[in-house]
Structure formats: structure tokens, C-alpha cells
């Protein structure tokens, strides 16, 4: 072999780095990672997104709680209407068990501090036909119905003789209870307010723990509607 050619081969071999046993050499150009600044930015973005999702979830749950129970109340009023028109038997009555009206009753209640708080309503059979719920006279259809998840009945309203809406918690109002009932063969709603003379429509306002308001509205013709806010 030519001496110069052999020397070139030997020099070329010397340029090949020797591998260390058990390890592979990785060039610095292929090594990458996070800097401290990049890590802080990523954590900040993740925190903002998580906080926004948690806030929206809480808001959604609050809205769901009050809207669901507003629909439940509307369905109970509709059930009273159906019972009346369908001649539902009042098994607790000693008189005519079929010629009976049905309805719901809501009454202001004072808590231990003297504040009015309404967290329940009564579904009743109007045994004596006076269109109001009377303890010991009329019959509860099942137990008292309590609202859940911190939702309360914030107010109930009806119109005065001049067609102006008045609510139980308005200053100067003496409304203590509202009774909404139906009696066959009519589908019209009977609205009786204790403590004041009022006429339909009846409006019941429900409020969530975070202040979200939904209404249930019962028209004189028996139409029942629900919605967000105050009508």
C-alpha cells in the first residue's frame, strides 16, 4: 500500500471520536428544555384557564339550581290543574271526593332573626272549596315541598284592582300568603292573596344563592310560564 495513502487513512481514523462504554454522545445542538421564564409563563396561563373554568362551572351550577326548581314549581302548578280537570279523587276527604280543587300555597315565614324567608310550598286538595289552603281543613297532597341547594322563594306578586303589580316584600304591603288553585270544569287559575285583595297574574320569584332570579307566572286563563329575571 502506498505510504501516503495509508497515512491519510490513519489520520481519518483519528478524527472519529471514541465512544465511551454504555453511553452515546449527543451534540449540544440537539439538547433542548424550558427556561425559568418559559416555565413561569406556562404555569401562569394554566392557572388563568383553570380559574376561569372553575368560575364558569360554579356560575353554571348556580343557574342550573334555580332554573330547575323554577321548572319544578311550574310543573307542580300544572299538576294541580291536571288533577282538577281530570277529577282526581281526594282520598283524604270525607265528603265528595271528586268535586275537589287542587293548588299550591306559599306563605311568608319568619326565621329566628325575624327575617322573612320562604324555602317551601304546599301542594293541597281544596276540600272545602274556598280556594285557599287551611291547616286542618284542606289536605296536603304529600309532604311540604322544600326547595334545595340554597334556592329560596324571594317574593310573590299579583296585581291590585288597578292592574298594578304588587309584591309581598314591597314596602307597605301586607301580603302574607298566596294560594293558586284550579277547580273543574274551568282551567282558569284562582289566585287568592291573604292580607290584601289581588288578582291574577300571580308571579313567584325564585332566587339562587348567588342572586340569579327566575320567575313562574300564572295567568288568569291558566297559562303557566317560566323565565329568567322578573317579568
* pLDDT per residue as tens, the chain (231 positions): 555 455 455 555 555 555 554 556 656 555 566 677 877 888 888 888 877 777 667 777 888 999 999 999 999 999 999 988 887 665 555 555 566 889 999 998 766 555 677 899 999 988 888 888 888 777 778 788 999 989 999 999 999 888 899 998 888 888 889 999 998 888 899 999 988 778 899 999 999 999 999 999 999 999 999 999 988
Query: How high is the pLDDT of residue 202?
Result: 94
Domain tally for the chain?
Answer: 1
Task: At 70, list the grid cell.
Answer: 323554577
Residue 63: inside a domain: yes
Residue 44: inside a domain: no
Residue 148: inside a domain: yes
Query: How high is the pLDDT of residue 59?
Result: 76
Residue 121: inside a domain: yes
Residue 5: inside a domain: no
What is the C-alpha to C-alpha distance for residues 136 and 107, in angstroms, rounded to an integer?
16
Residue 36: inside a domain: no
Domain with 101 in it: 52-228
Residue 120: inside a domain: yes
Q: Do 204 and 214 meet the contact criterion of CB atoms below 8 Å apart?
A: no
SS in 3 state form for the chain?
CCHHHHHHHHHHHHCCCCCCCCCCCCCHHHCCCCCHHHHHHHHHHHHHHHHHHHHHHHHHHHHHHHHHHHHHHHHHHHHHHHHHHCCCCCCCCCCCCCCCEEEEEEECCECCCCCECECEEEEEEECCCCCCCCCCCCEECCCCEECCCCCEEEEEEEECCCCCEEECCCCCCCCCEEEEEECCCCCCCEEEEECCCCEEEEEEEEECCCCCEEEEEECCCCCEEEEECCC
Query: How high is the pLDDT of residue 212?
Result: 93
The neighbouring-strand residues paired with 181 are 103, 190
Residue 155: inside a domain: yes
Amino acid at each position: 500500500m502506498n505510504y501516503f495513502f495509508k497515512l491519510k487513512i490513519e489520520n481519518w481514523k483519528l478524527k472519529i471520536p471514541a465512544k465511551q462504554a454504555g453511553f452515546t454522545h449527543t451534540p449540544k445542538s440537539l439538547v433542548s428544555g424550558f427556561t425559568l421564564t418559559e416555565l413561569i409563563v406556562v404555569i401562569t396561563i394554566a392557572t388563568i384557564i383553570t380559574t376561569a373554568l372553575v368560575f364558569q362551572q360554579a356560575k353554571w351550577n348556580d343557574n342550573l339550581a334555580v332554573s330547575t326548581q323554577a321548572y319544578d314549581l311550574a310543573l307542580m302548578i300544572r299538576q294541580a290543574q291536571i288533577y282538577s280537570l281530570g277529577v282526581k279523587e281526594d282520598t283524604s276527604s270525607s265528603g265528595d271526593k271528586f268535586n275537589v280543587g287542587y293548588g299550591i300555597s306559599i306563605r311568608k315565614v319568619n326565621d329566628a332573626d325575624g327575617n322573612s324567608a320562604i324555602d317551601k310550598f304546599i301542594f293541597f286538595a281544596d276540600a272545602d272549596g274556598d280556594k285557599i289552603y287551611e291547616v286542618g281543613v284542606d289536605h296536603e297532597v304529600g309532604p311540604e315541598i322544600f326547595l334545595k341547594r340554597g334556592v329560596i322563594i324571594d317574593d310573590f306578586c299579583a296585581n291590585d284592582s288597578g292592574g298594578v303589580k304588587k309584591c309581598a316584600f314591597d314596602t307597605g304591603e301586607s301580603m302574607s300568603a298566596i294560594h293558586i288553585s284550579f277547580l273543574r270544569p274551568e282551567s282558569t287559575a284562582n289566585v287568592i292573596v291573604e292580607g290584601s285583595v289581588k288578582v291574577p297574574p300571580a308571579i313567584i320569584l325564585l332566587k339562587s344563592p348567588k342572586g340569579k332570579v327566575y320567575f313562574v307566572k300564572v295567568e288568569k286563563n291558566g297559562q303557566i310560564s317560566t323565565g329568567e329575571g322578573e317579568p
